[in-house]
Copies of this chain bind each other. A is one copy, B any other.
Amino acid sequence: MRHAEQPELHVANTECFSEGNLRKIQEIMYEMKAEAGSHLFWEGDPADRLYFLKQGRIRLTKSNDEGKSYILYVYNKGDMFGQVDPFVHSLNSFNAEVTEDSTVGVIQQKDLEVLLWQHGDLAVEFMKWMGLMHRMTQTKFRDLMMFGKPGALCSTLIRLCHTYGKQQGEDIVITKKFTNSELADMIGATRESVNRMLADLKKSGIVSMQQNLIVVKKLNDLKTICQCENCPKDMCRI
């Protein structure tokens, strides 16, 4: 597996595929454009395809009756996402919001099945990719449930470092702006709570701001708060 050097940005979740197999997958998809602000799919739409994000940014969200909404995943260039399950008429359970103009490859589940059928090595890699995605969900689950809101925030900051972090001396700059509200929606808290928690982290010198970007100065202190288990970077992402 190709592995991320320290200051690399955007390690795609498809890193676990070999070049050849990634190419095979790319051969069966058709390209599609989606504008920032649009939706790739909605909750309740049929879920019979995967998406490969060639360019742009897409987040999966879930909202409840009261209109409160949660950001569950954020995907970037090179990431693949979507649902595969054994139900004939399976439905998406999330909304896919396009937050930056995107180019996506659409993979029909049928076509994928044929590919898996034909190429044993691809099937094995695909299984590992699915396992990776599942564990990513599980570790996030753990982080958000087990250590209160401060723990959830710290874990999210660590994940952001892994996804958007750029080394700067001892510090890590999160090279993408997130508003307090967005962070709040990622951890199921209110923007006010995030604001107060961030203020605390700043006061204790664990993070600071630099042109509206969050700079993590003491990664280890963040890790302590959310009882980080130092799981592989490819897994511990947003």
Contacts and interface: CB of A to CB of B under 8 A. Distances in A.
A232 to B, nearest CB: 6
A213 interface: no
Nearest to A120: B117
Interface size class of A (residues with CB under 8 A): 35 or more
A86 B123 contact: no
Contact of A145 (B127, B129, B145): B145
How many copies of this chain are found per oligomer?
2
A120 B118 CA distance: 6
16 contacts: A1-B88, A84-B127, A84-B128, A85-B128, A93-B135, A93-B142, A116-B127, A117-B120, A118-B120, A120-B120, A123-B126, A127-B127, A127-B130, A130-B134, A134-B137, A137-B141
B132 A85 contact: yes
Contact of A117 (B16, B121, B147, B234): B121
Given A85-B128, A117-B121, A133-B134, A231 B93 contact: yes
A64 B146 contact: yes
A77 B128 CA distance: 25
A228 to B, nearest CB: 11
Contact of A123 (B116, B141, B147): B116
A120 B116 CA distance: 6
